[in-house]
Amino acid sequence: MLKRLFLIFVLVLTSTTPADEPANYDKGDMPTIVVFTEFPDGLTDIPAIDIEYIATPSYGAFITDVFFEINGRLQSIYSHGREPFFASNGAPIRDVLGRARIPFFTGENRFEFVVRDSNGLEGRFAIEGVPRTERQESWLNPVNPEHREYVDGGTDRWLVTSRIRIFTTTEARMQGNILQQVEKAAYPFGGVVVGLSGSQFTIEVSPRSASELEALGELLVAAHPELFTSPSLVHGGNSISYVRGD
């Protein structure tokens, strides 16, 4: 399951050098891989990093696999088995210039990149920085009882008339400081962040009707499409101990 999640999460775009075209570097006795992207060192609040790398095979060979190890666990970025790719002119492709999105786990993340070629040789590139992330706990401020509007004519379920819940985009979270981004975006609308659960924030505003809350959510998305998506109303009830969005 973990491998499947990584394969979904890792996004790869590769360009290549045909074998009969000269490269700007010499083939050596061992394959090499170089990552050009600088990794953060120490505490960071970004969930992943976009990298660029170049993998070069040993003399007369072609690249078969590119991996990275995160805390000793091997994950595939690029794998083509034991047969080479072929360029449009029919020549086998040797060098791989690629991009990938690499996730960070909670705690310290020690990375080493690995390349293998058709000669059965392996090269490695260790990342100097050790990014560290901390799991952000979910939190939610209590609801003001005066801001409850009972629905369905009963007393077991209500609409919170002063709150909306809204998701943040992956791109915005990767920029870091997501809480500050949301607070800044909500402020002109009279909103204050009062809860967080994963990628979803709860924003409190002055009490209003359900249709007005829905309109406010759409306004936030329209004003900040790079930050927000999927707003919803917030409901509560005597049978549940938390506030949730429908």
The residues spanned by each domain of the chain are 2-133, 139-245
Global pTM value: 0.52
**What is the percentage of the chain residues whose pLDDT exceeds 70?**
73
Cα Rg of the chain, angstroms: 25
pLDDT given at position 66: 86
**Exposure of 111 by Cβ count < 10 A (0-12 exposed, 13-18 middle, 19+ buried)?**
buried
Low-confidence ranges of the chain (pLDDT < 70): 1-28, 76-95, 135-137, 152-155, 237-246
Cβ pair 216, 189 in contact under 8 A: yes
Order of all β-strands in the sheet with 107-108 = 42-43, 131-133, 107-108
- Per-residue pLDDT, 93: 57
The CATH architecture assigned to 2-133 reads Sandwich (2.60)
Quick one: pLDDT at residue 71? 86
Locate 51 and state its tokens.
């990298």
Question: For 123, phi and psi rounded to 5 degrees?
Answer: -125, 155
pLDDT for res 243: 35
Looking at residue 3, its pLDDT comes to: 41
pLDDT at 27: 54
Look at residue 10 in the predicted model and tell me its pLDDT: 43
For residue 189 the two structure tokens come to 């609308």
Give which of 178, 39, 31 is closest to 100, Cα–Cα: 39
pLDDT of residue 21: 40
Identify the pLDDT of residue 123. Answer: 94
Terminal Cα distance for the chain, rounded: 29
139-245 belongs to which CATH class?
A: alpha beta
Q: What is the pLDDT of residue 84?
A: 52
